[in-house]
Structure 1
């Protein structure tokens, strides 16, 4: 049987692997680590990279926390137990180059004891990976989705279709009527069933985590050599503001961290270092900026 301690240990290993890959990719910046403890139980390792050749700001965070759920979260999660354990790795990268996309990944595990004496614990895996280009480059979006589909198909033929649709619906900025980016995959409450064992679901979770570094390295190296203009950088700051809006208004992980007395600096590491909100900005007709907005829609088939 997979234990929560095993999940946490393997997630820490994935955090180490990703940090090593990103430092090699950037070639200049190194991660700063802060070990923290959560009042109420558990803690984590926050790792932040800043002011690199490519990576302007990013975080690769691990946490393993436990304690009692607030009543509001119990209602949202539709559970009747107080005690919980949650562990995961969460990543956001903000590049300094407008042709290199923002990327987010999260893999997580949640467990609660059974409400029945001697019963099995309530537990599930969740996670996903999604891409937020400042400029949507179609070939890059196709590559990204093809790689995710390959990982999903290895474990279940329905995973990519289900989780891609889930990501389209989840990473949607309702008040803007646009998706945050070109989507990816998103899933939650994934449990063992007649098709997949707990071991297989755990292996899928780790496979998603280990997809991050090679995929993002490819996207960075495809575009890092291109020059960019001041206008393109202003658009990058404008697109970052949309990213901030989503995370502060809709993101479930942000809400969970804040409502369970998580570490604020770690929770808000997802926000970009610089963003701009220009009043009633309208891109020029036919511009690359307008073309990008036209592709921030649900249901685009990238593969």
Structure 2
């Protein structure tokens, strides 16, 4: 079995494991399965849950597409036009309860006909309301995983996430960051097999991390004020994904499946003109913490 086939099989198994874990945690809704084919080659399996007890909308997508890179996509990637293969798992969950955070995870593998390859991915947290102790625990789990492979990975990938998940036109981060990496190739420190172990391990972190965070906040009471704020923060999420996210752009440029690409969008979102939270409110305090380079590990977990 080729390396790309091993990776695709592992990614598909990861999708199945995560779906089962999330269904059990939600306790009400089930994921629907939508298998699709890409006319140019390959396809995928989209798993989507809506109107759950705890998950308002969630997607756990697997794809394995292939074909010829368009001139535009090749230019954006800085490679010559040629055939390619790309596979990955992408997840976004929008919770019912505003005290529970939005979470995103993506792992992917890309290979060109000339033998060029790279891994990419990451996991980041977008709370509607920031709890420093939750952010500290989240970052600690990521650091523990990174440190198994190299000491520099967590600080490097944490900074990369801070820079990537940033909304320039708002001058704020999308959330409390996490780790982000792209175009990882074998080095003297990590061969391709170790890179794959690292990336797959990021995917395997998803369920235990999110189920812990869900359990912390899912039963916290909320009212209309919190729901309004949740819709406004969802609006920021939409702005980032549609304006700045490179994965969204690449998927659309390579004629990816629109429904699967845009499954990351929330079920509802608001844009209130020039909304200013009351000074000292929990909403205002969250805005103050949407900054780059916060050392979340300094807080108690």
The question of a shared fold, defined as TM-score above 0.5 by the shorter chain, is answered with: yes
Aligned to 2:190: 196
* 1:191–1:201 Cα contact (<8 Å) kept: yes
Cα distance between partner residues in 2 of 1:186 and 1:220: 22
Aligned to 2:130: 136
Q: How many residues align?
A: 297
Cα distance between partner residues in 1 of 2:53 and 2:134: 21
Match of 1:211 among 186, 191, 205: 205
Cα distance between partner residues in 1 of 2:107 and 2:220: 32
| 3-state secondary structure, aligned to 1:24 | helix
Report how far residue 81 of structure 1 moved: 3.6
Match of 1:127 among 121, 125, 130: 121
Report how far residue 229 of structure 1 moved: 1.4
TM-score, normalised to structure 2, is 0.98
Match of 1:235 among 229, 236, 252: 229
| 3-state secondary structure, aligned to 1:157 | coil
2:60 is the counterpart of 1:60: yes
Cα distance between partner residues in 2 of 1:111 and 1:22: 30
2:292 is the counterpart of 1:298: yes
Any idea what the Cα deviations from partners look like across 1:6-44, whole Å, max 9, x if unmatched? 100000000001001000110111000010000100000
Cα distance between partner residues in 1 of 2:5 and 2:41: 14
TM-score, normalised to structure 1, is 0.97
Root-mean-square deviation (CA, aligned residues, Å) is 0.8
2:276 is the counterpart of 1:282: yes
Report how far residue 297 of structure 1 moved: 0.2
Any idea what the Cα deviations from partners look like across 1:103-128, whole Å, max 9, x if unmatched? 000000000022xxxxxx10010000
Cα distance between partner residues in 2 of 1:224 and 1:270: 21
2:99 is the counterpart of 1:99: yes
Cα distance between partner residues in 2 of 1:225 and 1:236: 16
Task: Describe the shift of the 1:163–1:2 C-alpha distance in structure 2 as closer, same or farther (beyond 3 A).
Answer: farther
Aligned to 1:118: none
Any idea what the Cα deviations from partners look like across 1:241-284, whole Å, max 9, x if unmatched? 00000000011111111011111110000000000000000000
Report how far residue 2 of structure 1 moved: 6.0
* 1:65–1:85 Cα contact (<8 Å) kept: yes
Q: Which segments of 5 or more consecutive residues in structure 2 lack a partner in the other structure?
A: none
Report how far residue 155 of structure 1 moved: 1.0
Cα distance between partner residues in 2 of 1:159 and 1:287: 36
